Each structure stands twice: as structure tokens, then as C-alpha cells.
Amino acid sequence: MSSELKTRGADFHLHYCARNQGKTIQSNELMELINNGKATIYHDNGDPSNGIDLKTTLKEYGDGEHLYFCGPTGFMTAIKNETKHWPPEHIHYEHFSAVSQEQNLEKKSNTEFLINLNRSKLKFKVEANESIIDSLRKNNFFIESSCEEGYCGTCLTRYLGGEPDHRDTVLNEKDRKNFILICCSRSNSPELVLDL
């Protein structure tokens, strides 16, 4: 991400948090960012009170700023708690692993539904025991994916009709009005129209 931001000439700062020096990625690119004042490393040695001061670091929101973060669940929760005053559409995050159903959503039973591929003029049934992406693959329609658990965003797809049952941990409320992660989410309506 830092390489892309540098290429664009964007203003950014990386806050890198690790337990200790041994857990810190050693790279020339990271050292260059530190030397140019574009990155700060925090080592807490297992005690979060010795690490980054999230309250101070995230207190001010600058117009147009975006925050991107990832890490273990406790760290992610702490950041979310300190950014409640930020515009939700300016906060972006990715989990290292899928959030458990207990943390994410209550366990739901699955029912079958139809997906209507608007541009392709195709319709497929999504069985109760398969995902949208599984149904597409079964019908020789390929969509790129990665985690297949709703935490990376690779399979982001625009929907045009129906009522999605969002089961991801990536999309904010604004995004959910137009997009769905088809690896894990389902439909609350009998048919879901996708922009495919």
C-alpha cells in the first residue's frame, strides 16, 4: 500500500505496531519510510499501555483523511472504539482471520434463493448448503476471491435488486447499500440481482 501511495504522491503516515523488534518485519522499504518520517514503529513488549496511544493518535480527524488498519481482534476493537467520531466511510479495515459468528452475527439458517446476473442475462439457484460464489463456479462463471470468509473484500460485487443478507466484516453501512461480498453473504429475498 505504501508503494502505491508513494507512486500517487499521496500524503500518508504508517503506524506500525509490534510486540518487539523480533516481531517487526525487516525491509528496506520500511526503513526508508522511517528515515523519511513517513512511518513510526511501536513496540509494546506485550503491554498495550507501552504501545501506540490510540486516543491521541486518532483524536483528530482531518478533512478527507482515511484510516486503514488491520491486526488482531483486540487491537481492531480498540481502534474502532477510538474512531467513532470519524466518518464511517473513511474507515477501512481487514481482519487477519474471520470474525467468529458470535462476534459477527447470530447464527442464521440458510435457505435457497435465486441470483439474477443482470448483464449476463443468467439466473442460478443458490442452494442452502452453498455460497453465491460456489453457485457461480458450479455454473462456469468465475469471480476472483481470496479468503472466502468475508474479511478480505476480494469478491466485492455490486447488487441491483433484492435484499442482501450481509455476513461480512468488511463493508460499512454506506457500502452495503450497493455492494455485497458474494463469498459469504446470502439473500433475505427470494431473488438477488447482481451486476454481473
- The larger pLDDT score, comparing residue 183 to residue 100, is at 183
Of the candidates 73, 102, 131, which is a domain's last residue?
102
Range in 25-29, 129-133, 182-186 the model is least confident about: 25-29
Taking all residues of the chain, what is their mean pLDDT, rounded to a whole number? 89
Structural domain contains residue 82: yes
- pLDDT value, residue 93: 83
Among residues 1, 10, 13, the alpha carbon closest in space to that of 38 is found at 13
CA-nearest of 121, 71, 67, 79 to 96 is 71
Kindly state whether residues 82 and 146 are assigned to the same domain.
Answer: no
The domain of 8 spans 2-102
Give the C-alpha separation, 181 to 2, whole Å.
25
Strand partners, 69: 93
Asked whether the beta carbons of 73 and 95 are under 8 A apart, the reply is yes
Residues 129 and 168 in one domain: yes
Domain count, the chain: 2
Domain containing residue 87: CATH number: 3.40.50.80
Q: Are residues 11 and 67 in the same domain?
A: yes
Same domain, 91 and 146: no
Residue with cell 460499512: 172
Helices (H), 42-181: 54-57, 73-82, 101-104, 132-138
Q: Which residues contact 124 (CB under 8 A, 6 or more apart)?
A: 114, 115, 117, 135, 136, 138, 139, 141
Q: Residues 6 or more apart from 88 whose CB is under 8 A from it? A: 172, 173, 174
Residue 7 sits in the same domain as residue 92: yes
Residues 74-91: pLDDT tens digits?
888 899 999 999 998 899
147, part of any domain: yes
- Boundary of a domain, candidates 102, 124, 143: 102
Answer whether residue 107 is part of any domain.
no
SS3 assignment, position 45: coil
Do 32 and 72 lie in a common domain? yes
- Co-location of 6 and 94 in the same domain: yes
pLDDT range class, residue 99, cuts 50, 70, 90: low
Are residue 129 and residue 150 in the same domain, yes or no? yes
- CATH code (residue 147): 3.10.20.30
DSSP-derived 3-state class of residue 33: helix
Please compute the mean of the pLDDT values over residues 52-78 and round it to a whole number: 90
Show which of 76, 102, 128 is a domain's final residue.
Answer: 102
Q: 133 with 169, same domain? A: yes
CA distance 61 to 51: 21
Q: Give every CB contact of residue 106 below 8 A, 6+ residues apart in sequence.
A: none
Question: Using CA atoms, how far apart are residues 152 and 175, in angstroms rounded to an integer?
Answer: 14
Same domain, 133 and 170: yes
